[in-house]
Copies of this chain bind each other. A is one copy, B any other.
Amino acid sequence: MKLHGVLESVLYCDDLESNEQFYSDVLGLERIAAREGRHVFFRCGNGVVLLFDPEQASMVPAEVDGTPIPLHGSKGAGHLAFRAILAEIDAWRDYLAEKGVEIESEVTWPGGGRSIYFRDPAGNSLEIATSELWES
């Protein structure tokens, strides 16, 4: 019995609308569900990325067929890294720059792998990285 991976990764965004546009139009993720003002969910590889309004997710009870869904929600910049292949890192950097997204940092890891860092409109720290980063 083991955990086979991460199915849902979560970030919190005060302004869901501008963030939805960013994850969808700029990052190219497929939107799979949304409840206006509360959340928007995206597919990413074999997992999903959940964006929640932190006030709604932490304060407003939610349920499925009468069963409560636990509340959560945080304030401050979260972090998430997306997986890319090495050949795409430069292309992502150039593409994001074209879209007006500032590259905050660019790291070549001593053990192998590369990362670029930028922010979503909510200020969360996003990273696009090669999986070599964690293979050593």
Contact = CB atoms under 8 A, between A and B. Distances in A.
Interface in A11-45: 12, 27-29, 32, 43-45
What's the interface size class on A, roughly?
A: 35 or more
A38 B75 CA distance: 19
A11 to B, nearest CB: 9
Contact of A6 (B1, B32, B44, B54): B44
A93 to B, nearest CB: 11
Interface string A64-80: 11011111111111111
Contact of A12 (B48, B74, B92): B74
Nearest to A136: B32
A9 B67 CA distance: 27
Contact of A1 (B68, B76, B88): B88
Contact of A7 (B10, B58, B75, B82): B82
A128 B4 CA distance: 10
- The 3 A-B pairs at the shortest CB distance, nearest first, are namely A5-B45, A74-B76, A8-B81
